[in-house]
Amino acid sequence: MKVSYEWLQTFFEEGALPNADDLAQTLIFHAYEVEGVEEVNGDQVIDVDVLPNRSSDSLSHRGIAREISTLLNIPLKGDPLRTHVELIPTTDSVRVSLGSGSCSRYVAAHITGVTVEPSPDWLRKRIEAIGQKPINNVVDATNYILFGLGQPTHVFDAQKFSGEKPHVGTRLAKKGEEITLLGEEEAIKLAEKVTVITDEGSGAAVAVAGVKGGTLAEVDENTTDIIIEAAKFDPIQTRLSAQALKLRTDASTRFENDIPDEMTTFGAEAVAKLVLEIAGGELRGFVSSGEIQKKNKAVKVTSEEVSSLLGVSISSDDIEDVFTRLGFTYIRSGENFAVTAPFERRDIEIPEDLIEEIGRVFGYGKVPAQQLPELKDGANAYKKFAYAEKIRNALTNLGFTEVYLYSLRDKGEVALENSLASDKDHLRASLADGIIESLDKNEKQMPLLGLYDAVRIFEIGNVFTRDGEETRVCIGVRVAGTKKREERTGEQLDAALLSLKKTLGLMTGTFDHKFSASQGYLEFSLDALLDTLADIENYDTFPLAQDGTSYSPSSQYPFVLRDIAVWMPEGTGAHELSEIIRKHAGDLLKRIDLFDDFEKDGRVSYAFHLVFQSMDTTLTDSQVGEIMSAIEMEISGKERWEIR
């Protein structure tokens, strides 16, 4: 949200605020991210990134001013949300009916005799500074209150409503219903899940609730009588409407983040007051429907809880000072506090929320660094982690590679309520399905991976069943070739299982597991084994991850495999042949693997697998052929070198 420095100054006594850059640094260290500070027509504009949990109170100049007041301990010059506001006089010149559960409170103000004209210079400057386009004095008044207080409002031309008295209603859109939105020329068809504001006299939709108004009751230069709307629309319903229209507005952003019901009163009164000031007219009165539904409850916290969670001792008096600066009401009994946040702070619900507020106002930079305490229960506190590390070490020593596969599958015992896709609508109930898929994919890439005899992988991960969540281990093997494949696969799985039994100290007794040589996997529950496994006595023997690991992107293009075997004079090393190959192949050579060597009749033979792959394109046979021809030509020119 863009925040005008000049606008902020109106909430404080003259000279009380530091410069815009210093304000930005204060917000960064204690509250929000700040994208930058820029000058706009002589004003300094701070671009503040307000997090969703603070949108109910901070997406406004008043909200940012309140935050600055707390952090810098500077009093506000009259907080507009702490003043008593009554919606008087009331009127029956306008009717309001709530026909949809998506609107919990609706306030309408009726003003007659307004003059619609360009806004005064001060208002135009404020609106333009934050990137908004001035329209006219009446519409600009609603935008000023939106960005000033945080309550979205809308204004209708009362005389464009049907009937003797304007009658405003809310309901869901009808099938096939259309509306032309402000600033558009063509009507759009509304989905039935969209909430609309209606002219009950004619039944027509005059606005999409919480998102944008329509042209049917648009304010123009001929407007003299207006209805000001300040409402509370359901956050979820507003988001559904905005998504259906593919339209996100400043109003919908605030409604989606659950602004308080109480803001309707302040918003309606503030817009009416500003319109009367800059557009004239007579206030006929206010009418409202619906009640304020949600109120903040007291949250209890103790000084001991605060100090324990933050890791620094903070006195009860300092805690009390923070609550006072935040504008929270509280009852203190020694070190115990019962705290109620003001209505606009919807994010304060549990003790940890209060402690977070204390920490950021106190300053996280004041929390000293401390040595982590020693584990009371030693390695047994991390018994599962320790044995998982043992399993990793054992399997990697056997040439297995660990994989991390998706937990979302197309089948399982636990279904997702809101799935991302039809093939990811369940949590996995086993690791085997993912391992088998991974074997299928990696089998095709064996030469590229330098795996000429078998693909060996494993995963240690969680599965989800009706009985709960558990950690399992699954080992997968896919041998090369088809001759006695199942037999050879079973032998490798048996060898891995034997190694794990030795590692886990389970050479005797049962070891429950699933085994399939035909599919190439072995799976067992680590959780089920923990009670039978010995306690870890020396946890420090497990190595930590080492720095220096490098990563490189993989190519999206297929590889090309070639073999080359060469007779060379006895005493010649394989590296001499590999150097020639690398010289001609360049960056396209991804792997070079020596797979055969022997001596005969005073000569030595070396055979290499060569894997070619480009990062930019699919290699053709002719491209690889040219490289191989260049390699063979240089080999042919060497004495007693012969290509087999």
Percent of the residues in the chain that have a pLDDT greater than 70, as a whole number: 96
Higher-pLDDT residue of 168 and 424 is: 168
Judge if 224 and 259 occupy the same domain: yes
AA identity, residue 514: K
Backbone angles phi, psi at 251, to 5 degrees: -70, -50
Nearest Cα to 143, choosing from 40, 97, 214, 212? 212
Query: Considering the domain boundaries, does residue 555 fall inside one?
Result: no
Q: Which residues pair with 168 in a beta bridge?
A: 96, 199
Backbone angles phi, psi at 243, to 5 degrees: -65, -40
CB 530 within 8 A of CB 374: no
Q: Comparing 155-164, 522-531, 612-621, which segment has the lowest mean pLDDT?
A: 522-531
Mean pLDDT confidence for 108-119? 98
How does residue 384 score in pLDDT terms, banded at 50, 70 and 90? confident
Q: CA 394 to CA 505: how far, in whole Å?
A: 13
How does residue 295 score in pLDDT terms, banded at 50, 70 and 90? confident
Mean pLDDT confidence for 580-597? 90
pLDDT digits (tens, 9 = 90+) for 184-243: 999 999 998 899 999 999 999 999 999 999 999 999 999 999 999 999 999 999 999 999
Residues 6+ apart with CB under 8 A from 441: none
pLDDT at 448 over 80: no
Mean pLDDT confidence for 258-286? 97
pLDDT digits (tens, 9 = 90+) for 11-51: 999 999 999 999 999 999 999 999 999 999 999 999 999 98
Query: Considering the domain boundaries, does residue 87 fall inside one?
Result: no
pTM, whole model, 2 decimals? 0.65
Judge if 123 and 252 occupy the same domain: yes
From the CB of residue 409, how many other CB atoms can be counted at a distance below 10 Å? Answer: 20
Determine the pLDDT at residue 536. 60
Nearest Cα to 561, choosing from 630, 606, 619, 617? 619
pLDDT at 261 over 80: yes
In terms of residues, how long is the chain? 644
pLDDT at 102 over 70: yes
Determine the pLDDT at residue 335. 95
Query: Considering the domain boundaries, does residue 416 fall inside one?
Result: yes
Query: Considering the domain boundaries, does residue 476 fall inside one?
Result: yes
Query: Considering the domain boundaries, does residue 347 fall inside one?
Result: yes
pLDDT at 381 over 70: no
Domain at 616, CATH number: 3.30.70.380
Judge if 413 and 450 occupy the same domain: yes
How does residue 359 score in pLDDT terms, banded at 50, 70 and 90? very high
Q: CA 499 to CA 513: how far, in whole Å?
A: 15
Determine the pLDDT at residue 549. 62
Q: CA 474 to CA 459: how far, in whole Å?
A: 5
pLDDT at 388 over 50: yes
Judge if 349 and 385 occupy the same domain: no
Last residue of a domain, one of 269, 289, 309: 289
Percent of the residues in the chain that have a pLDDT greater than 90, as a whole number: 72
End-to-end CA, the chain: 72
| Apex 615 CA angle, 609 and 616, nearest 5 | 130
Please count the CA atoms within 13 angstroms of the CA of 336 that sit on its side-chain side: 4
Mean pLDDT confidence for 559-580? 91
Q: CA 289 to CA 380: how far, in whole Å?
A: 61
Q: CA 80 to CA 148: how far, in whole Å?
A: 10
For residue 415, give Cα distances in angstroms to 247, 465, 471, 472, 583.
31, 10, 19, 20, 55
CB 172 within 8 A of CB 195: yes
> Coil, helix or strand for 123?
helix
Determine the pLDDT at residue 531. 78
Nearest Cα to 438, choosing from 398, 389, 476? 476
Domain carrying residue 162: 95-289
Judge if 262 and 349 occupy the same domain: no
Angle separating helix axes 303-310 and 316-326, nearest 10 degrees: 90
Residue 37 token pair: 């500070």
pLDDT at 122 over 90: yes
Judge if 383 and 359 occupy the same domain: no
pLDDT at 378 over 50: no
Residue 25 token pair: 């640094």
The three-state DSSP-derived secondary structure of 53-84 is HHHHHHCCHHHHHHHHHHHHCCCCCCCCCCCC
Q: 524-527: long-range contacts at Cβ-Cβ below 8 A with a sequence spacing of 24 or more? A: 524/472, 524/473, 525/470, 525/471, 525/472, 525/473, 526/384, 526/387, 526/388, 526/391, 526/460, 526/470, 526/471, 526/472, 526/473, 527/384, 527/470, 527/471, 527/472
Determine the pLDDT at residue 152. 97
CB 532 within 8 A of CB 563: no
Query: Considering the domain boundaries, does residue 548 fall inside one?
Result: no
Residue 333 token pair: 């009994």
Judge if 331 and 428 occupy the same domain: no
Judge if 134 and 239 occupy the same domain: yes
Mean pLDDT confidence for 336-341? 97
Judge if 339 and 439 occupy the same domain: no
Judge if 492 and 634 occupy the same domain: no
Q: CA 481 to CA 452: how far, in whole Å?
A: 10
CB 140 within 8 A of CB 123: yes
Last residue of a domain, one of 252, 270, 289: 289
Nearest Cα to 339, choosing from 386, 300, 294? 300
Query: Considering the domain boundaries, does residue 402 fall inside one?
Result: yes
Q: Comparing 112-126, 140-154, 220-234, 441-455, which segment has the lowest mean pLDDT?
A: 441-455
pLDDT digits (tens, 9 = 90+) for 315-328: 999 999 999 999 99
If one counts the domains in the chain, the total is 5
Please count the CA atoms within 13 angstroms of the CA of 531 that sit on its side-chain side: 1
Judge if 504 and 566 occupy the same domain: no
Mean pLDDT confidence for 549-571? 86
Determine the pLDDT at residue 419. 82
pLDDT digits (tens, 9 = 90+) for 450-508: 777 789 999 999 999 999 999 999 999 998 877 888 898 989 999 999 889 888 888 77
Residue 610 token pair: 């060569």
Query: Considering the domain boundaries, does residue 183 fall inside one?
Result: yes
Q: Are strands 560-569 and 2-4 parallel, antiparallel or unpaired?
A: unpaired
Judge if 211 and 337 occupy the same domain: no
Q: CA 141 to CA 153: how far, in whole Å?
A: 9
Residues 6+ apart with CB under 8 A from 177: 189, 190, 196, 205
pLDDT digits (tens, 9 = 90+) for 278-292: 999 999 999 999 988
Last residue of a domain, one of 366, 387, 421: 366
Domain at 351, CATH number: 3.30.56.10
